């Protein structure tokens, strides 16, 4: 009996990320960050059972001499079986496939390329902020305020408070007037 | 032959005196300017994103107002203000992502900023500019100051939005709500 088993299993592929920064100037702050977080969980449960039962039976016949003086040299023939089994199978397991790397463009930082041998005369004003710094916004040239805006408006609470205060003042004034009049009359 | 050696000796003495003279020559107190200094060019900076406010929104308070430009009148120390809109104090910094404080003020009236004192922590404010940007802010802090506290006009540092309205029984105080910049959208 011949038994042959052939199985194939493929392997996952991998790729790499990279990025290139070019044409940058001195003091430039260029960052190229490539983060590859690849997780792949493959659960391949292969359960292959090959059961080959050979039920052949080979028997030789009896050597019997009938109506003969003797059986002489009679013999039974040979008994043999021939069996051949070929089992071929293919198991294709799931694999992890890594997508093609995506080109990540670094944040745009306008940088003026500088020729190494270029001579620049230092100016009186010292640049500040460094590479990629946002140009400071100049303060408006207006008269310097001495007070914040008056946003009292005529809010409901303010109106009520004003009326209550006014009524209170009127009541106090009336009471004072009555008292004064009583004193004078007395 | 003696004259030859004598000449050689005189030459040696002359050379020795010359080197000695060179070595003991004092360095001038003020040396002449040296060679031209090659300075590195500072890379160009990124222009700030900025603009004049045209609209202010505080979604949690259902505030959505047009914003005018409020100017200061030194004569009577007053500001442009009315009950139809909020105002950007033009003495403060324009809305930007670089530095300084932008002041937007409005009356404590139902049509403007009356509900501003009800603002909750971490509330969002959105300011649209005339340059086509929407600046998103988050509330950082609040305080009440007297009208004479004008430090908001000179403050520096991170870009900040301040919304102002009056507060107090007689509106004698100014409530200032400071927001920090979170993001900028292009409209």
Does the CB of A61 have a partner CB in chain B at under 8 Å?
Answer: no
Our CA-based measurement puts residue B179 at a distance from the nearest CA of chain A, in whole angstroms, of 18
Residues of A in contact with B36 (CB under 8 A): 119, 121
Return mean pLDDT, chain B. 83
Predicted ipTM beyond 0.90 = no
Give residues with Cβ within 8 angstroms of A121, minimum separation 6. Answer: B36, B39
Does the CB of B60 have a partner CB in chain A at under 8 Å?
Answer: no
Does the CB of A13 have a partner CB in chain B at under 8 Å?
Answer: no
Answer yes or no: are the C-beta atoms of A139 and B93 closer than 8 Å.
yes
Q: Residue A82's Cα: distance from chain center in Å?
A: 62
* pLDDT for the residue numbered A139: 86
B1: in domain: no
Distance CA A28, CA B128 (A): 32
Does the CB of A116 have a partner CB in chain B at under 8 Å?
Answer: no
Residue B136's SS3 state is strand
Angle, CA B44 vertex, CA B38 and CA B48 arms, to 5°: 150
* pLDDT for the residue numbered A92: 72
Strand partners, B143: B176
Q: Which of B89, B108, B174 sits opposite A155 (nearest CB)?
A: B108
B168: in domain: yes
Confidence grade of residue B161 (pLDDT, cut at 50, 70, 90): very high
The length of chain A in residues reads: 186
- Which of A19-33, A140-154, B21-35, B72-86 shows the highest mean pLDDT? B72-86
Distance CA A94, CA A20 (A): 34
Q: Which domain holds residue B69?
A: 50-186
Does the CB of B20 have a partner CB in chain A at under 8 Å?
Answer: no
Q: Which of A111, A114, A139 sits opposite B93 (nearest CB)?
A: A139
Where along chain A do its domains lie? 1-111, 155-186
B17: in domain: no
CA distances from B35 to A116, A119, A126, B32, B41 (A): 18, 12, 21, 10, 18
* Cross-chain residue pair A127–B42, CB shorter than 8 Å: yes
CATH code of B149's domain: 2.40.260.10
Most B-contacting residue of A118, A121, A152, A162 (CB-CB within 10 A), to test interface: A152
Percent of chain B residues past pLDDT 70, beyond the cut: 76
pLDDT (average), residues A66-95? 75
């Amino acid at each position: 009996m011949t038994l042959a088993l052939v199985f194939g299993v493929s392997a996952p592929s991998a790729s790499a990320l990279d990025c290139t920064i070019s044409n940058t100037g001195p003091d430039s702050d260029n960052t190229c960050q490539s983060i590859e977080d690849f997780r792949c969980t493959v659960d391949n449960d292969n359960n292959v059972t090959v059961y080959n039962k050979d039920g052949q039976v080979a028997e030789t016949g009896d050597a019997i001499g009938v109506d003969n003086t003797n059986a002489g040299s009679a013999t039974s023939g040979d008994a043999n079986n021939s069996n051949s089994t070929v089992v071929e199978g293919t198991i294709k397991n799931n694999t992890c496939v890594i997508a093609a790397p995506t080109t990540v463009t670094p944040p745009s930082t306008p940088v003026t390329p500088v020729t190494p041998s270029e001579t620049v005369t230092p100016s009186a004003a010292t640049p500040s902020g460094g590479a990629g710094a946002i140009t400071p916004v100049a303060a408006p040239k207006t008269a310097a305020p001495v007070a914040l805006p008056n946003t009292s408006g005529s809010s409901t609470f303010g109106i009520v408070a004003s009326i209550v205060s006014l009524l209170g003042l009127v009541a106090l004034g009336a009471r004072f007037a009555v008292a004064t009049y009583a004193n004078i009359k007395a | 032959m003696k004259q030859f050696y004598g000449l050689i000796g005189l030459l040696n003495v002359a050379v020795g005196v010359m080197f000695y003279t060179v070595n003991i020559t004092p360095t001038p107190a003020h040396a002449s300017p040296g060679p031209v200094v090659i300075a590195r060019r500072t890379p160009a900076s990124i222009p700030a994103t900025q603009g004049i406010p045209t609209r202010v929104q505080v979604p949690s308070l259902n505030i959505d107002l047009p914003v005018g430009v409020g100017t200061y009148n030194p004569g009577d120390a007053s500001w442009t203000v009315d009950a139809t809109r909020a105002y950007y104090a033009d003495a403060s910094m324009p809305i930007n992502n670089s530095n300084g404080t932008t002041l937007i003020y409005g009356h404590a009236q139902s049509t403007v900023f009356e509900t501003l004192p009800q603002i909750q922590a971490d509330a969002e404010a959105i300011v649209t500019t005339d340059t086509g940007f929407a600046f998103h802010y988050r509330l950082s802090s609040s305080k009440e100051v007297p009208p004479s506290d004008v430090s908001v006009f000179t403050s520096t540092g991170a870009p900040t939005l301040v919304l102002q309205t009056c507060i107090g029984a007689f509106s004698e105080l100014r409530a200032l709500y400071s927001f920090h910049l979170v993001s900028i959208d292009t409209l």
